[in-house]
Amino acid sequence: MSKMNDLTSAFTQAFGLIGRLDTELLAIVGLSLEVSLTAVVLASALGLPIGAAIAVGRFRGRQPLIVVLNALMGLPPVVVGLMVYLLLSRAGPLGQLGILFTPAAMVVAQTILILPIVAALSRQVIEDAWHEYREQLRSLGAGPLTAAITLLWDTRFSLVTIVLAGFGRAAAEVGAVMIVGGNIDGVTRVMTTAIALETSKGDLPLALGLGVILLSLVLALNAAAYWVKEAAQRRYG
């Protein structure tokens, strides 16, 4: 009975935090969005052209590259965190940068985490379109670069959903940002690491509040992805 009450009161307090826009909660959500949005922008800026190049290109090692890329989609976040930690730690090759335990390190880790997702999924989408477009584009005189740009534009709605999936994955992962960010209060604490910490400390309201926001975010992203595709399908065929 009292357990039930605990839970009810934790939920009530959680919604209280959200309702009155608690500053600590807002700061954590804000940093989460900042880090993951930056990561997804970087991963897309690199991953979409890589995906298009592999889709359209004909070069040695293309098939092994695709296999590796697909496998990298399943990279465990803690492994990425460990790799980036080793790179950025004082003794590591990029230790000079001095960005370990800063949001910049978290951006690097999340970018590495979702780059293969954006590249591999966009490669698939663009290659499917390439099969359909190939002869037509060649007939019109388009070279590989023009073709790649054309395909990126023509698959734009599918690519948007891929980018949103990448963002969702970045915002929801905990292992990489925990290792390279360190979950420092007010500096590198994001939603997922805060939830992990507060839960272990027994501070359920903050953890729950963040959990509710994270869940809503993931839901909203999926709704957006679905809606973009549906609307585009209806409008552009």
In the complex, the residues that contact other proteins under the rule CB under 8 A are 132-133, 135-142, 146, 150, 153-154, 156, 235-237
Do 28 and 190 form a contact (C-beta atoms < 8 A)? yes
Work out how close the CB of 128 gets to other proteins at its nearest, in angstroms, rounded to a whole number. Answer: 13
Write the Ramachandran bin of 141: left for phi over 0, alpha for psi from -120 to 50, otherwise beta: left
Work out how close the CB of 52 gets to other proteins at its nearest, in angstroms, rounded to a whole number. Answer: 15
φ, ψ of residue 57 to 5 degrees: the values are -75, 155
Do 37 and 111 form a contact (C-beta atoms < 8 A)? no
Work out how close the CB of 139 gets to other proteins at its nearest, in angstroms, rounded to a whole number. Answer: 5
Work out how close the CB of 146 gets to other proteins at its nearest, in angstroms, rounded to a whole number. Answer: 6
Residue from 178, 181, 167 nearest 218 by CA = 167
Amino acid at 184: I
By C-beta, is 107 or 125 nearer to other proteins? 125
φ, ψ of residue 204 to 5 degrees: the values are -70, -40
By C-beta, is 62 or 138 nearer to other proteins? 138
By C-beta, is 187 or 231 nearer to other proteins? 231
DSSP one-letter code for 89 = S
By C-beta, is 149 or 197 nearer to other proteins? 149
